[in-house]
Amino acid sequence: MWPTATIDLVNLVQSSQDQNCSKLLYRFMLRTLLILDEEVVERAESKLDGERIITTNVKDAMRVESVLAILTLMTSVLTQY
């Protein structure tokens, strides 16, 4: 498990000085968040108990560490683009 994944990705996006690279990194981050939403956040009835435990742990780690960073990134996307 990589508990700082979202923060590390947000920091990567925000550290980019190149406008074109920055746009690509924003797209990458948004797609990553969409995949996280599909795989981790949405509660699928077909998930096994072990998978539910893992996704719950990931969501809990994200709540503690990543929510503010993700919101800051989304605000930046809305104001810049």
Neighbouring CB atoms inside 10 A of 5's CB total 16
For residues 24 and 67, give the distance between their C-alpha atoms in angstroms, rounded to a whole number. Answer: 22
Specify the pTM: 0.68
Tokens at 65, concatenated: 């560490």
Higher pLDDT, 67 or 2: 67
What is the per-residue pLDDT across 31-66, written as a single tens digit (0 to 9) for each?
A: 988 888 787 777 666 678 788 788 788 778 777 778
C-alpha distances (whole Å) from 62 to each of 13, 31, 50, 69, 79 are 18, 16, 19, 10, 24
Strand locations in the chain (E): none
Q: Where are the domains of the chain?
A: 5-80
